[in-house]
Chains A and B, each alone.
Chain A
Amino acid sequence: MSPLIVVSILPAVHGPLSGLVKALGAMLPALHGPVIPALACLAAAALLLLLEAREGAGAMEVASLLVLLPLAGVVATAPHVEAAWPALAVALVVAVLARHREDLLHSECGIKLLWVMGAALALSWGGLELLAISTGTRALAEQWAVLRLDLESSIGWSTALSLSLLVGVVMLGGAPFHFWPADLFQGARPWLAPLAVAGIQVCGAGWLLSRVDGIEQFPTGQRIVYSLLGTAAWVALVAGGVTLMVQRRPERRVGTLASLNGALMLASLAAPHRGAMGAGARDIPLALWAGHLALALAGAATLSRFAAVSAGSPSAGPVLFRRHPWSGILGLYAFFSLAAVPGTPGARLWLGVARDLVSAGRVGLLLALAVAWLAAFGAAIRQLREAFGVVTPAAPPGRPVAWQPRAAMWLTGAVLVWMALSGIAGTSQ
Chain B
Amino acid sequence: MIDSRVQRVAVGPLTGAPASARTARPGARVAGAVLCTVGLALLCLRSQLAAAVGLEAVAMAFWVWARAAEDAEAQAPRWAWLRRPAAALWLAVAIHAVWPWLSHGRGPVRDGMLAPLRWLEAGAVVWAGLELLAGLPLARPYSDLPGPLLAMRPWLPVMLPAAGFMVLWRQSPHWLGISPVRHTATVLLLVTAVLGALRAFARRQWIASLRWLAISDSALAGVLVATGVVPERSSLLLWLGACGGHALLLMGELRGASPRRGPFITRLWRAASWTTLAALSWPMMIALISGKRGVAWAVSFAIGALPVCLNAWVTVGRMVAAPERRKMVRAGAALKLTRLAPLAVLATGPVALLVAWWGGFEPPWRDSAAALAPAVLGGMAALVARQTQARPVWRALRGMGRGMPAFAGAAFQAVIGIERRLVALVDGLVRAVASPLHDLHTGDAQEYLLFVVGLGVLALVLPLLQ
Contact = CB atoms under 8 A, between A and B. Distances in A.
A92 interface: no
A366 B34 CA distance: 36
Contacts of A123: 452, 456, 459
A354 B100 CA distance: 12
B67 A8 contact: no
A155 B464 CA distance: 6
A159 B449 contact: no
B114 A358 contact: yes
B31 A163 contact: no
A116 B114 contact: no
A5 B30 contact: yes
B116 A367 contact: yes
A314 B78 CA distance: 11
Nearest to A391: B68
A158 B67 contact: no
B463 A8 contact: no
Contacts of B434: 242
B217 interface: no
Interface in A1-34: 1-2, 4-5, 8-9, 11-15
Interface in B384-433: none
Contacts, number: 142
A418 B452 CA distance: 40
Contacts of A8: 31, 35, 57, 60-61, 64
A12 B463 contact: no
Interface string B77-116: 1000001000100110111011100000000000001101
Contacts of A179: 441, 443, 448
A377 B64 contact: no
Contact of A5 (B27, B42, B63, B83): B27
Contacts of A155: 463-464, 466
A120 interface: yes
Nearest to A176: B451
Contact of A14 (B53, B67, B97, B466): B53
Q: Is the interface of B mostly helix, strand, loop or mixed?
A: helix
Most buried by A among B56, B66, B466: B56
Contacts of B34: 5, 9, 12
A385 interface: yes
B377 interface: no
Contact of A4 (B27, B50, B77, B98): B27
Contacts of A428: none
Nearest to B73: A313
Interface residues of A, number: 54
B98 A391 contact: no
A307 to B, nearest CB: 16
Interface in B25-62: 25, 27-28, 30-31, 34-35, 38-39, 42, 49-50, 53-54, 56-57, 60-61
Interface string A76-115: 0000000000000000000000000000000010011001
Contact of A116 (B35, B91, B448): B448
Contacts of A14: 53
A51 interface: no
A397 interface: no
A388 B459 contact: no
B38 A116 contact: no
Contacts of A373: 94
Contacts of A158: 463
A141 interface: no
Interface in A349-393: 351, 354-355, 358, 361, 363, 366-367, 370, 373-374, 377-378, 381, 385, 388-391
B35 A9 contact: yes
Nearest to A6: B31
A53 B56 CA distance: 43
B117 interface: yes
B254 interface: no
Contact of B53 (A11, A112, A377): A11
Give the interface size bracket for B toward A. 35 or more
A64 interface: no
Nearest to B25: A391
Given A119-B453, A358-B114, A378 B57 contact: no
B455 interface: yes
A123 B217 CA distance: 65
A115 B73 contact: no
Contacts of B56: 11
Contact of B459 (A116, A166, A180, A381): A166
Interface in B201-252: none
B97 to A, nearest CB: 6
B98 A351 contact: yes
A355 B99 CA distance: 7
B14 interface: no
Q: Which of A8, A9, A116, A381 has the most CB of B within 10 A?
A: A8
Contacts of A177: 452
B67 A377 contact: no
B87 A377 contact: yes
B327 to A, nearest CB: 44
Contact of B116 (A13, A116, A363, A381): A363
Contact of B452 (A119, A154, A242, A363): A119
B445 interface: yes
A314 B67 contact: yes
Contacts of B67: 314, 385, 388-391
B73 A314 contact: yes
Given A13-B38, A374-B91, A166 B77 contact: no
Contacts of B54: 12
Contacts of B443: 179
B355 interface: no
A363 B118 CA distance: 12
Most buried by A among B54, B73, B98, B466: B98
A391 B94 contact: no
B448 A112 contact: yes
Contacts of A15: 49-50, 53
Interface string B120-148: 10000000000000000000000000000
A330 B103 CA distance: 39
Nearest to A340: B94
B72 A391 contact: yes
Given A158-B463, A391-B67, A9 B31 contact: yes
B337 to A, nearest CB: 28
Contact of B445 (A108, A314, A366, A389): A108
A159 B113 CA distance: 31
A2 B464 CA distance: 64
Contacts of A377: 87, 90
B98 to A, nearest CB: 4
Interface centre among A1, A154, A385, A391 (most CB of B within 10 A): A391
Interface of A: 1-2, 4-5, 8-9, 11-15, 108, 111-112, 115-116, 119-120, 123, 154-155, 158-159, 162-163, 166, 170, 176-177, 179-180, 242, 313-314, 342, 351, 354-355, 358, 361, 363, 366-367, 370, 373-374, 377-378, 381, 385, 388-391
Interface of B: 25, 27-28, 30-31, 34-35, 38-39, 42, 49-50, 53-54, 56-57, 60-61, 63-64, 66-68, 72-73, 76-77, 83, 87, 90-91, 93-95, 97-99, 113-114, 116-117, 120, 434, 441, 443, 445-446, 448-449, 451-453, 455-456, 459-460, 463-464, 466
27 contacts: A5-B30, A5-B31, A9-B35, A11-B53, A11-B60, A12-B35, A115-B448, A116-B452, A119-B453, A123-B452, A159-B460, A166-B455, A179-B443, A314-B72, A351-B98, A354-B98, A361-B113, A361-B114, A363-B113, A363-B116, A367-B116, A367-B120, A373-B94, A377-B90, A390-B67, A390-B68, A391-B72
4 closest pairs, A vs B, by CB?
A: A390-B72, A12-B38, A115-B449, A5-B31
Given A8-B57, A355-B98, A374-B91, 10 more contacts: A12-B38, A13-B38, A115-B452, A116-B451, A119-B453, A314-B73, A351-B98, A367-B120, A390-B66, A391-B67
